[in-house]
Chains A and B, each alone.
Chain A
Amino acid sequence: MRYALRRLSFFVFTLWAALTFNFLLPRLMPGNPALAMIGKFHGELGPQALNSLEILFGVNTHQSLLSQYVSYLHQIATGNFGTSLSQYPESVDSVIGSAIWWTVCLVGITTVLAFVLGTGLGIVAAWRRGGRLDSVLPPVFVIASAVPYFWVAMVLVLIFGITLHWLPIEGGFNVTGDSIGLTPQFIGDALEHAVLPSLSLLITTVGTWILTMRNTMITTLAEDYVRMARAKGLPGRRIMLDYAARNAILPNLTGFAMSLGFVVSGAILIEYVFNYPGVGFMLLQAVEGEDYPLMQALFLLITIAVLVAILIADVATALLDPRTRTAR
């Protein structure tokens, strides 16, 4: 219980730190670029929109930093992130709302796939230590861990999109032919558009799962209870899955809970390469269009997603592994 409380207070503290970072950053920058950008919109913004942006970025306010800070926190707490400058007059909230589902579906499903595939391969690699899989995988990871995500995406575009003409290389669906809705045509089309981004992400993330699983499993396989199981003459499959893998999977499970938090931010560059209509692409568009309100809100969203995931990971570890409960 004390442990849970401590984690919770850390969570709140970090959230506060991220908010403060967001508050201070534009104000500390030379010439407050957000201010300059908002200035360009001066004639178009309604008084209410202008007021909320003033609070977020400190435009034209002659208040002290402290009272600016208080009204900033108050406004964030009420969920008002201002007006998007690049997609005026939509509010930041609604702009993000339209993009988030693309990312959640694409990256979420891919993350689950990568976890299942990677953990499975890791188990087999450790079980057949020194076998074919185990000797092929490590050099592959060395390269995979060193390749930039976005470049893998570009190479896949080159192979499957441009050379072979198998798959679409841009967008989330067929913009000219489809209307967004739960029609079979739209879903099929969206799936087709998701193959390459998803594959890029899978290729670049699966290695970590395999490696962690393999390495922990090798340690578990050396434990006495595994030797005992062997001595009892239990079938190999049972030892592999119920004895070794079951105990070795903890770090991977924690990692999985954590990686769910990175779903929102995990594919920024891949979405960028494919012009995929998700949150990551939106963040970069906001950067390019100097849409600071949108950028700030997205950064906050990404941070909160990660924080929540870490909290879940902590709870999961405590529930699954009794040792962590007493150790702290």
Chain B
Amino acid sequence: MSLPVSLGRPASEPRRLPGSGALNRVGRAVRSNRKATAGAALLVLFLLLALFPGVIAKDSPTDDAYLPKLGLSTAHLLGTTSYGQDMWAQVIWGTRNVLIIAFAVGLGTTAIAVLIGVAAAYLGGAWDGGLNILTDVLLVIPLFPMLIVITAYLHSGGTLVLIVVITTVSWSYTARQLRSQALTLRNRDFLEAARVRGERKLYIIVVEVIPTMTSLIVASFLTNALYAVLFASSLQFIGLGDPNTVSWGTMLYWAQNNAALQTGQPMWVLAPGVCIAALGAAFALLNYAFDEIGNPALRPVRKIRAPKTRGQA
């Protein structure tokens, strides 16, 4: 199966970086855990939709070429909007916008969090103090209201703006987690060895510390991607995104503005919402699976009773 696609960059085979072992373990774990398999399959499906939307949705998502408020039919699988746009096309083409935001924010926040969290833990002293205060302050200021206030001032909530704003404010939780994980590594022997070898601090952080935290980093990416989907859709829903983008949140915005529920067009609300939930569930499923991989106590009992020989640490 082509599962590792969902995990971003699979480790290339020939190079023997310390991280590649961890990534292989993750890949194997994804295949052996039912939740992870379901999540990965869903995510691959959405990725394919985002890459090739035209294959199953021939109509243009923005063209108001049809009669408004049509019901479900073979020509318009989900009917049309009050403006005469094909809803099936909107849902399918909308996948791309959401996935771009999910991956960009997921990668961005995780990268910032890794840098800040690990640097704080490893450098210690004043660095740790300073970065810690920054993280703590961002951690306690309520995220969603802050996002609302910032995007309200910015006026144009284009996709790039949403990505940048969400990324800048929402890395703190991950940074906190990674810092505590890195702190437990700080006095391990292999890092002492690297120090004695005279490696530079940057080298130690990038090559020695970060690869040992691969599974936590992947899990953080998944959580952040899930939150990005929810935050971005919510902002688009209340009209703080660009209302002309084709995306699920924007669909919900137009549906709400046209009182879709009250005027007998429930599909306008149901379809994009189900998609958001399904994409979110894909990330959440993968994430729960990683939780179970990391903390064996949480695994379903059945598996503990019948252990397989294919054990992993």
**Sample of 8 further A-B pairs with CB below 8 A, known A18-B141, A135-B300:** A143-B281, A147-B276, A148-B237, A151-B252, A151-B277, A154-B273, A157-B261, A302-B142
Question: Is the CB–CB distance between B144 and A268 below 8 Å?
Answer: yes
Question: Is the CB–CB distance between B276 and A151 below 8 Å?
Answer: yes
CB closest residue in chain B, given A298: B145
Q: Among B57-65, B86-94, B148-156, which stretch is in contact with chain A? A: B148-156
The answer to whether the Cβ of B284 comes within 8 Å of any Cβ in the partner chain is: yes
Question: Is the CB–CB distance between A154 and B302 below 8 Å?
Answer: no
CB closest residue in chain A, given B264: A162
Question: Is the CB–CB distance between A150 and B141 below 8 Å?
Answer: no
Contact of B284 among A33, A142, A157 (CB under 8 A): A142
* A-B pairs with beta carbons under 8 A, tally: 133
CB closest residue in chain A, given B262: A162
Question: Is the CB–CB distance between B273 and A283 below 8 Å?
Answer: no
Given A129-B301, A158-B266, A272-B238, is A146 in contact with B142 using a C-beta cutoff of 8 Å?
A: no
Given A295-B152, A303-B141, is A154 in contact with B269 using a C-beta cutoff of 8 Å?
A: yes
Closest chain-B Cβ to A291's Cβ sits at a distance in Å of 10
How many angstroms from the CA of A222 to the CA of B304 in the assembled complex?
14
Report chain B residues within 8 Å CB of A10: 133, 136
The answer to whether the Cβ of A13 comes within 8 Å of any Cβ in the partner chain is: yes
The answer to whether the Cβ of B96 comes within 8 Å of any Cβ in the partner chain is: no
Contact of A147 among B149, B280, B302 (CB under 8 A): B280
Closest chain-A Cβ to B306's Cβ sits at a distance in Å of 13
Closest chain-A Cβ to B35's Cβ sits at a distance in Å of 7
Question: Is the CB–CB distance between A283 and B153 below 8 Å?
Answer: no
How many angstroms from the CA of A309 to the CA of B273 in the assembled complex?
32
The 4 closest A-B pairs by CB, nearest first: A146-B280, A130-B301, A151-B273, A146-B281
How many angstroms from the CA of A279 to the CA of B14 in the assembled complex?
58
Report chain A residues within 8 Å CB of B302: 130
Closest chain-B Cβ to A168's Cβ sits at a distance in Å of 13
The answer to whether the Cβ of A81 comes within 8 Å of any Cβ in the partner chain is: no
How many angstroms from the CA of A108 to the CA of B155 in the assembled complex?
32
Report chain B residues within 8 Å CB of A147: 273, 276-277, 280
Question: Is the CB–CB distance between A154 and B261 below 8 Å?
Answer: yes
Mark interface residues in B246-285 (1 if CB within 8 Å of A CB, else 0). 0000001000100001100010011001001111111111
How many angstroms from the CA of A138 to the CA of B284 in the assembled complex?
11
CB closest residue in chain B, given A143: B281
Question: Contact residues of B with A, CB < 8 Å?
Answer: 35, 133, 136-137, 140-142, 144-146, 148-150, 152-155, 226, 229-230, 233-234, 237-240, 252, 256, 261-262, 266, 269-270, 273, 276-285, 288, 297-298, 300-302
A-B contact pairs, 25 of them (CB 8 A): A13-B137, A14-B141, A17-B137, A18-B141, A142-B35, A142-B281, A143-B277, A146-B226, A146-B229, A146-B230, A146-B278, A146-B282, A148-B237, A148-B280, A155-B269, A158-B266, A162-B261, A218-B298, A268-B148, A269-B234, A283-B148, A287-B240, A303-B141, A306-B140, A306-B141
Report chain B residues within 8 Å CB of A33: 153, 155
Report chain A residues within 8 Å CB of B283: 146
Interface positions of A from 17 to 40, Cβ below 8 Å from B: 17-18, 21, 25-26, 29, 33-34
Report chain A residues within 8 Å CB of B240: 287
How many angstroms from the CA of A34 to the CA of B153 in the assembled complex?
8
Report chain B residues within 8 Å CB of A151: 252, 269, 273, 276-277
Dominant secondary structure of chain B at its interface with chain A = helix
Dominant secondary structure of chain A at its interface with chain B = helix
The answer to whether the Cβ of A186 comes within 8 Å of any Cβ in the partner chain is: no
Question: Is the CB–CB distance between B153 and A26 below 8 Å?
Answer: yes
Chain A interface residue bracket vs B? 35 or more
Contact of B145 among A149, A218, A299 (CB under 8 A): A299
Question: Is the CB–CB distance between A299 and B234 below 8 Å?
Answer: no
The answer to whether the Cβ of A145 comes within 8 Å of any Cβ in the partner chain is: yes
Question: Which of A29, A33, A149, A150: most chain B CB closer than 10 A?
Answer: A150
How many angstroms from the CA of A40 to the CA of B2 in the assembled complex?
58
Closest chain-B Cβ to A59's Cβ sits at a distance in Å of 15
Given A142-B35, A299-B149, is A215 in contact with B298 using a C-beta cutoff of 8 Å?
A: yes
Question: Is the CB–CB distance between B238 and A269 below 8 Å?
Answer: yes
The answer to whether the Cβ of A115 comes within 8 Å of any Cβ in the partner chain is: no
Report chain B residues within 8 Å CB of A202: none
Question: Is the CB–CB distance between B269 and A158 below 8 Å?
Answer: yes
Question: Is the CB–CB distance between A265 and B140 below 8 Å?
Answer: no
Report chain A residues within 8 Å CB of B301: 129-130
Report chain B residues within 8 Å CB of A287: 148, 152, 238, 240
How many angstroms from the CA of A185 to the CA of B181 in the assembled complex?
56
Mark interface residues in A140-173 (1 if CB within 8 Å of B CB, else 0). 0011011111110011011001100000000000
The answer to whether the Cβ of A87 comes within 8 Å of any Cβ in the partner chain is: no
Question: Is the CB–CB distance between B238 and A265 below 8 Å?
Answer: no
Closest chain-A Cβ to B228's Cβ sits at a distance in Å of 12
Contact of B133 among A13, A145, A158 (CB under 8 A): A13
The answer to whether the Cβ of A307 comes within 8 Å of any Cβ in the partner chain is: yes
The answer to whether the Cβ of A242 comes within 8 Å of any Cβ in the partner chain is: no
The answer to whether the Cβ of A219 comes within 8 Å of any Cβ in the partner chain is: yes
Closest chain-B Cβ to A106's Cβ sits at a distance in Å of 17
How many angstroms from the CA of A61 to the CA of B142 in the assembled complex?
31
Given A146-B281, A295-B149, A306-B141, is A284 in contact with B288 using a C-beta cutoff of 8 Å?
A: no
